[in-house]
Structure 1
């Protein structure tokens, strides 16, 4: 476990295939949100809806490559690894952002905080909508940003760093040898270091 920690945290800084695989899966979610007008994204929306069923648990019988990706993302979220929480929209001209539905502030989408209960609250909500329409926004396109990077851009390294503080959830019986979850290059480096150590030790 210590070998997988960053050097700043006392580890060897070797990469984890587990974290990399999660990052590669999440990259498809990121591309779906940021490249919504591409052909493949439009096909996904035509089949599964405009939201791509990213936050929706799949019904039994629906199988596809895309649904496998969203299912894995939802399963990770239930285990406490929710990468979607780091994504939000940076509002520009507001043309592609729904004020109530989309997540454009760090606290989350307004619709998830509390729904208007009708009566006076519904009237207040309508007045709020009227006020929002008068706001003059920046004349640039809205865009998705990832809170794991200062630039707001996606990178596998940022996802792996974000996962570095969350241990794997698998449980191993006592006496069971746990294989290191390292990349091939990292394994070679560790093996080479071990061989050097044996060579030095044998000279004494």
Structure 2
């Protein structure tokens, strides 16, 4: 569960065993089920019991390897992946390698989540430190977009497009590597805006690091990640308020109808 993508059939079997244990019946017994199992697994925000699904747990554990890949660039296994799949390990690519490997399967699992509207990468942000691991133009290290997209005219003038942030801050002017001086109009305006942005930045002695938006501490926690996946994956539930002026059988019928609970266990 912590390294391999669990097949759908295995997850369904595990949920069936857990459901039977929760209801206190044998798995082969055919007894009426008053609510779908997904409604037991859903969080309190969705009117569920907060059991959490094995699907979300498995995907959160898989994404933990991506978080480790981003945060431990000096690890041997990270360098092996970089040697095979490039420095960023094919992260964020919509077209992934054809060959099968543990790393590629993890990437495909995350891509499937994105297609379901669950983008874990959106909650993974890089925090600027000494600027060694950030590319000045093509990484999102200040604001919500890259400097390449924000200042396209300046990026077109740049000769060293793969310089890191610390390299750019090490020179007297970040415009020294341009192929020619900025001319009037848009180039001068973008140069002035970029200079204003850079005046607000102070690099620190600690290394650049990735932070996890779902936690105040910025550290990655499997529980909060799987809980967030379940919030989207299991959907929202309805709550039915009982009416005391109608017979109890009508109340029970409406409760089961709103919960779609007509399946037999």
Same fold by TM-score, threshold 0.5 exceeded?
yes
The size of the alignment, in residue pairs, is 173
Deviation at 1:5, TM superposition (A): 2.2
Is 1:14 aligned to 2:51, yes or no?
yes
Which residue among 226, 229, 249 is the counterpart of 1:163?
229
Within 1, Cα distance between the matches of 2:143 and 2:47? 31
Deviation at 1:102, TM superposition (A): 2.1
Is 1:79 aligned to 2:79, yes or no?
no
Deviation at 1:51, TM superposition (A): 0.8
Say whether the 8 Å CA contact 2:53–2:230 is kept in structure 1: no
SS in structure 2 of the partner of residue 26 of structure 1: helix
Look up the match of 1:189. Answer: none
Deviation at 1:9, TM superposition (A): 4.5
Say whether the 8 Å CA contact 1:116–1:122 is kept in structure 2: no
Within 1, Cα distance between the matches of 2:117 and 2:206? 35
| CA shift digits 1:60-83 (9 cap, x unpaired) | x42211111111111211221110
Which stretch of the first structure deviates more once superposed, 146-155 or 133-142? 133-142
Which residue among 62, 66, 81 is the counterpart of 2:103?
66
| Cα distance change on mapping 1:167 and 1:177 into 2, 3 Å | farther
Root mean square deviation of aligned Cα = 3.3
Which residue among 24, 29, 33 is the counterpart of 2:70?
33
What residue ranges of structure 1 are gaps of 5+ in the alignment? 180-204
Within 2, Cα distance between the matches of 1:163 and 1:156? 11
SS in structure 1 of the partner of residue 152 of structure 2: coil
Larger Rg, first or second structure (1 or 2): 2
SS in structure 1 of the partner of residue 231 of structure 2: coil
Within 1, Cα distance between the matches of 2:81 and 2:208? 21
Q: TM-score, normalised by structure 1?
A: 0.70
Task: Please list, as runs of the form range in 1=range in 2, the aligned pairs for 1:34-53 lying within 5 A after superposition.
Answer: 34-53=71-90
Which residue among 116, 128, 143 is the counterpart of 2:152?
116
What residue ranges of structure 2 are gaps of 5+ in the alignment? 1-37, 157-182, 236-259
Within 2, Cα distance between the matches of 1:161 and 1:177? 26
SS in structure 2 of the partner of residue 95 of structure 1: coil
SS in structure 1 of the partner of residue 232 of structure 2: coil
Which stretch of the first structure deviates more once superposed, 42-51 or 101-110? 101-110
| Cα distance change on mapping 1:67 and 1:135 into 2, 3 Å | same
| CA shift digits 1:9-31 (9 cap, x unpaired) | 43212121010011011111111
Deviation at 1:101, TM superposition (A): 2.0
Deviation at 1:136, TM superposition (A): 3.2
Within 2, Cα distance between the matches of 1:121 and 1:178? 68
Q: TM-score, normalised by structure 2?
A: 0.55
Deviation at 1:147, TM superposition (A): 0.3
| CA shift digits 1:124-158 (9 cap, x unpaired) | 65663797399432222211001010011011111
